[in-house]
Structure 1
Amino acid sequence: MRIGLLTEGGYPYASGEAHAWCDRLVHGLTGHDFEVYALSAEPRQEALPRYELPHHVRLVHSAPLGDDVPAGRRRTREPRKGRTPGRRERRRFAESFGALVSAFATAPATGGPAGGTPHGGASADDPPAVPAGAPDRSVTSKADRFASGLYGLAELAREHRGLPALLRSEDAVRLLESACHGPHALPAAHGAQVDDLLAVTAGLARALRPLSLDWYGDGRAPGLGGVDLCHATSGGAAALPGLLAKHFFATPLLVTEYGVRLREHYLARAASPLSAPVRALLAALQGALAAETYAQAALVTPGNTHARRWQERCGADRARLRTVHPGMDAAPFAAVADAAADDSKTLVWVGSVEPAKDLFALLHAFAEVRRAEPEATLRIIGGVGRDPQAPGYLAHCRALAAQLFPDEAADARTVGENPVSFEEIGSPEVPSLEDAYASGAVVVSSSVIEGFPRSLVEAMLCGRATVSTDAGAVCEVIGGTGLVVPPRNPRALAEACTALLGDPDRRARLGAAARARALELFTVEQNVAAFRGIYLELISHAPARPAACPGREGVPPQPFARPAESHVPGRWAATDAAARAAVPAGRTPSWALPAQEPAAALPVPAGAESGGAAGVRDVRQPVRWGATGDPTGATGVKEAGQW
């Protein structure tokens, strides 16, 4: 089948674990053809390093989410080339954009399915969105208005290439202003000023950029209209092309989220310098888009229970949720020896240094560990994270370590050393990631915000015992193979580390159990096998679409009309061709008949038992049973092809 792989963030042009997962998935499913549709914030994405693509990746489309879409990626279908939006287009835009804005910029009458403020809107204490006696504006009606506006804009973009200009026009600002200052607007949006409205319309134009791309075709030309299945590797902008393919061509949509995009948006907006009205409106837009994605997806595959709870909170149907753990390559860690029952006193932390990792708590906890284990050392291995505050946070961590642990020297002639070291992967001391985990007796994680803890899985694959804080999917990943403590509790973290450092046998048992659990649940093979089954399941339930299985003109499409043997070269293909040629005129071949049709009801041509004029026996003729209970002919000789 043809799979449209929808990505955001750069695959196949960028690097990182999320993109490496896409690469492993494509290389693992060699029985399908892939078409990659990549969205990126980078204006020159094609100049970035690119993964080596296998032969069954038929094409790669890429487009930035910037302000300008290159001319080669715009839709070319329009009433008149070069024509500016006319009165009819502006009226259609006003209707669709007004419905879209009124859906996400207004507060629901209740807290919604999440029971709170999933879209940055009203809480349970807010006044009703409608006066007494008026029709209830339920969450369902808001979702319908959002869908109507979204697909209305998409249809306008299919006919006219001026949608990006309309999204930034004065008409868009006026419609947004009317919704923000209306009686049912989000409380945070009431104070929106002109600068805020301009910032929101710019964010809307960026978020809806996929509507104006030429990725969809007409069901016959190459594009998402001709694929059998759309697989969005994240929510948000990556899933939007899949929603349009579902709307225009009834293409099934599969959404995989290993890090919930809406959660990431909330975290990013909380630290942004934007005003409160802008943050609230853009968060409401992303929440409404996530709800529409979950409603239209044939199946949503979260990577862990933590992500699954977020999706359910945003309205996803439990019946269409299926947890599929991320697949990680276990081969590089196979050479790391199991944790030996020795007297090593080294703690290792591996990851990207940023405030969410709470290294301050780890350093204070290590100060307690040193009182119980004076020979203990701590290695912090990792570079600066993507958080804008990460460089300054790393500098503060180094200063705190120097303050808590002055350099120690054995005597007056030796150079003092700090028991805490800051290192990076690739340095002479830590040439590879496997060396980082192998250098420690216990691997520590102190995060206060965490999604799927990849570093803990890597430590488990290396057979290392772990001490981690209860954040994100940590408990789900660790199971009973490590110690878990509350976050922001240095004392509990220190006690757990001290307990494992003082018990080598326990470390060895936990490390062996951790490796067995990781190899059972979190390998590439498990992940690829799960998606292989999901692809076949979804396509088996999808209706026959002309774009996916076209027939002859005037003849409806017939999926699986040819037997599998007809595609096999050699004697099977020749036998199939000979059998087709031998079918009498006007007779329906046996392989084209429904399997449930009784064989006794089929017509049998004269002379079929003895070979007939054509010399081909009908294999669907009822079997005759002899006196001995064996299928035989009248002469007691078994006839070929009767079983």
Structure 2
Amino acid sequence: MKVLLTTEGTYPFHQGGVSTWCDILINKLEPVDYVVYAILSNPFVTQKFKLPKGASLYTVPLWGTEEPSEHLSTPFPHIYLMKKQTGLNEIKEHFIPLFQELVYEIIAEVKDPRRFANILLGLYHFFQTYEYKESFKSEIVWDTYKKIILTAAADQSSGLSQPDVYGLVQSLGWLYRFFNIVNTPIPKVSVSHSSAAAFCGIPCVLSKLLNQTPYLLTEHGIYLREQYLSLSNRGYSSFLSKFLIRMVHSITSLNYTFADQVSPVCQYNMRWETEFGVAKKRIDVIYNGVDKSVFVEAPPRPPGPPVIAMIARIDPIKDIQTFMKAARIVLDKQPDAKFIVYGSVSVQAYYEECLALKEQLKMGESFIFAGHATQMTAAYHSGDIIVLSSISEAFPYSVVEAMMTGKPVVATDVGGIKEALGDTGVLVEPRNPEALAEGIMTYVTNPELRAEVGREGRERALSYFTLDRVLELHLKSYIKLATRAIERKPAPQVKVTPREKQRHVMEKAFSLAALGFNREAIAQYREALKLLPGSSSVPYILTEIAGLYNKLGEYDRAMVELARCEAYVGLIADREIS
């Protein structure tokens, strides 16, 4: 089985939970050959994961290229010819109508995903013949875009504020960059599988429209919610913020509408999906799982100062600063405690803020940023307590991995963390360093409780969150989708009477005649005669047949059918008299 797995800013170029999940599927699910379709920020990032034999890779960089076709394998002479034939007339006649519809859909407050899908399909077909950059960079495109946006902004009911020139250029630039996805070929596969309800879902939707490919959507987090959360840190104008969130809303609605199966990694995410109109019968939760042979139970740590570890990237969404403030509170009560953060720097500016806060809190060597851990199991084993202080999560691997190694967990009550921990850890509200510190102190001063909760957490992880279970559920989903074995009840058998059959055939004949398929219509009318040769419809049918022969210029045959009609009417009349 061949599966198209689409990613965005994750596998195989970046570390993290989604990348871990992708790597597990691709390396462990042996009956499947994966085609990885990776959307990148730029083409210069280093590949972090090696794909196994049998897997292939498409990359689509959104920024960092001069030509939008640089990532394609299309020969230069072919691209050159496409440029030459992309003239003003072609742009006006074929591209501008699609472009207008695209902009209208993106800025609309109420979304129409099926219309949006047809626009994307039209653009995909257009760029099979015409060149992407020549089309988008045309002056008429700028004039068209400016007119649409300024007209919409002038209408107060649109909710769009008046943009400045920078806002117009930037927002059009987003369209140019993001929708280069439709400029990329779609491979033929058995199933398409998107790792998020994001732009990486576009190839899956196109594959469904082009090849009727079933579409599986996995939701690790809620993409639209995450974009809302991150907007406050981006410093965009009111217009750009509104434009971006509406564009993301269009994309998420598109994914939710066209996915045959939506598989969130926790029940928590279902609330968002059902709110966006995903029917519960299309939702099938598949929890993340880990390899119990890798994340083995930790041996007892030797006596010494308590060590509190966090395994998370340095990113505002992980709220490392709340962890640091909680650490300061704990250190005031337990001065020999040690705090370690294992994780690569995702946002450099945020990391620098964390370093400044460390100095401000005067924690010295008591709080360490250890960088990315190459030996993940050893990182968990190094701590007595594992902490996660995120403000947003789906179903984080770090919690399940900690549980599998037998470590007690203190985490913020966000996303699906409660579903993972159950009663085997401490949950606190996010952005509350005092509550987080109190949760940590619960275990710092009680080694027996740490050991007991750690054992309970491991038992829970072995019951619900193993790698074998994850692989089994994904393979079953692929097979179900690929074979179209979506649990549908067979339609009840309805007995159709000869008269109903005749009416159906006559309607078909009438439609064929209306389209000018006269001989085909005659054949259908004759079929209607065979179904009920003695019905009251016979004279009408014979008259219609005669008329069709007349249109064909076969006047003798038309006269024969009229004679049959008169004879039939006469026969009926004689019967009625007798």
TM bucket (normalised to shorter chain) is 0.7 to 0.9
Matched with 1:23 is: 23
CA deviation after TM superposition for structure 1 residue 275, in Å = 2.1
Matched with 2:58 is: 61
Provide, for residues 212-240 of structure 1, a one-character-per-residue CA deviation record: whole Å limited to 9, x for no partner.
12x23xxxxxxx2x321111222322211
Q: Give yes or no for the alignment of 1:392 onto 2:334.
A: no
1:302-451 equivalences in 2 (<5 Å): 302-334=264-296, 336-337=298-299, 345-370=306-331, 373-374=333-334, 376-383=336-343, 385-402=345-362, 420-425=366-371, 432-451=375-394
Query: In the aligned structure 2, how far is the partner of 1:162 from the partner of 1:475?
Result: 50
2:108 pairs with 106, 109, 112, which one? 106
CA deviation after TM superposition for structure 1 residue 374, in Å = 3.6
- The more displaced of 181-190 and 433-442 is 181-190
Query: In the aligned structure 2, how far is the partner of 1:64 from the partner of 1:522?
Result: 34
Query: In the aligned structure 2, how far is the partner of 1:327 from the partner of 1:172?
Result: 48
Matched with 2:503 is: none
Q: What code does the residue aligned with 1:505 have?
A: E
Query: In the aligned structure 2, how far is the partner of 1:492 from the partner of 1:472?
Result: 18
Q: Secondary structure at the match of 2:85?
A: coil
Query: In the aligned structure 2, how far is the partner of 1:53 from the partner of 1:364?
Result: 40
8 A contact 1:287–1:314 mirrored in 2:
no
Query: In the aligned structure 1, how far is the partner of 2:20 from the partner of 2:410?
Result: 27
1:242-321 equivalences in 2 (<5 Å): 242-321=204-283
Q: Secondary structure at the match of 1:541?
A: coil
Q: Which runs of 5+ in 1 are unaligned?
A: 109-138, 217-223, 406-417, 544-643
Matched with 2:565 is: none
Q: What code does the residue aligned with 1:400 have?
A: Q
Q: Secondary structure at the match of 1:424?
A: strand
Provide, for residues 308-347 of structure 1, a one-character-per-residue CA deviation record: whole Å limited to 9, x for no partner.
333333333322122112233333321522679x786333
Q: Secondary structure at the match of 1:61?
A: strand
8 A contact 2:124–2:182 mirrored in 1:
yes
Q: What's the RMSD between the two structures over aligned residues?
A: 3.0
Distance 1:272 1:74, change over 3 A: farther
Distance 1:388 1:264, change over 3 A: farther
Query: In the aligned structure 2, how far is the partner of 1:478 from the partner of 1:40?
Result: 33
Distance 1:85 1:107, change over 3 A: same
Distance 1:275 1:165, change over 3 A: farther
Query: In the aligned structure 2, how far is the partner of 1:532 from the partner of 1:344?
Result: 45
Distance 1:41 1:492, change over 3 A: closer
Provide, for residues 440-486 of structure 1, a one-character-per-residue CA deviation record: whole Å limited to 9, x for no partner.
32222223333433322222122111222212222122111001112
Provide, for residues 531-590 of structure 1, a one-character-per-residue CA deviation record: whole Å limited to 9, x for no partner.
0100111112179xxxxxxxxxxxxxxxxxxxxxxxxxxxxxxxxxxxxxxxxxxxxxxx
8 A contact 1:352–1:382 mirrored in 2:
yes
Runs of 4+ in 1 over 6 A off after TM superposition: 77-81
1:100-179 equivalences in 2 (<5 Å): 100-108=102-110, 139=111, 142-158=112-128, 160-179=129-148
Query: In the aligned structure 1, how far is the partner of 2:338 from the partner of 2:138?
Result: 56
CA deviation after TM superposition for structure 1 residue 528, in Å = 0.9
Q: What code does the residue aligned with 1:65 have?
A: L
CA deviation after TM superposition for structure 1 residue 527, in Å = 1.2
Provide, for residues 9-65 of structure 1, a one-character-per-residue CA deviation record: whole Å limited to 9, x for no partner.
3644554442232222122221233323332222246xx3464433332x3332322
Distance 1:358 1:251, change over 3 A: closer
1:460-471 equivalences in 2 (<5 Å): 460-471=403-414
Q: What code does the residue aligned with 1:390 have?
A: Y
CA deviation after TM superposition for structure 1 residue 419, in Å = 7.0
Q: Secondary structure at the match of 1:333?
A: coil
Provide, for residues 146-168 of structure 1, a one-character-per-residue CA deviation record: whole Å limited to 9, x for no partner.
3332222222223x232343234
Query: In the aligned structure 2, how far is the partner of 1:298 from the partner of 1:236?
Result: 16
CA deviation after TM superposition for structure 1 residue 253, in Å = 1.3
Q: Which runs of 5+ in 2 are unaligned?
A: 487-578
Matched with 1:508 is: 451
Matched with 1:209 is: 180
Distance 1:497 1:279, change over 3 A: same
Q: Per residue, is there more helix in 1 or in 2?
A: 2
8 A contact 2:345–2:371 mirrored in 1:
no
Q: Secondary structure at the match of 1:27?
A: helix
Q: What code does the residue aligned with 2:164 have?
A: Q
Q: Give yes or no for the alignment of 1:457 onto 2:364.
A: no
Q: Give yes or no for the alignment of 1:482 onto 2:425.
A: yes
CA deviation after TM superposition for structure 1 residue 370, in Å = 4.5
CA deviation after TM superposition for structure 1 residue 83, in Å = 1.0
Matched with 1:620 is: none
Query: In the aligned structure 2, how far is the partner of 1:431 from the partner of 1:293?
Result: 35
8 A contact 2:289–2:400 mirrored in 1:
no
Q: TM-score, normalised by structure 2?
A: 0.75
Query: In the aligned structure 1, how far is the partner of 2:58 from the partner of 2:334?
Result: 57
Distance 1:81 1:472, change over 3 A: closer
Distance 1:375 1:200, change over 3 A: closer
Query: In the aligned structure 2, how far is the partner of 1:177 from the partner of 1:442?
Result: 56
User: Percent identity at matched positions?
Assistant: 25
Distance 1:185 1:87, change over 3 A: farther
Matched with 1:84 is: 86
Query: In the aligned structure 1, how far is the partner of 2:320 from the partner of 2:53?
Result: 44
Provide, for residues 602-634 of structure 1, a one-character-per-residue CA deviation record: whole Å limited to 9, x for no partner.
xxxxxxxxxxxxxxxxxxxxxxxxxxxxxxxxx
8 A contact 2:192–2:214 mirrored in 1:
yes
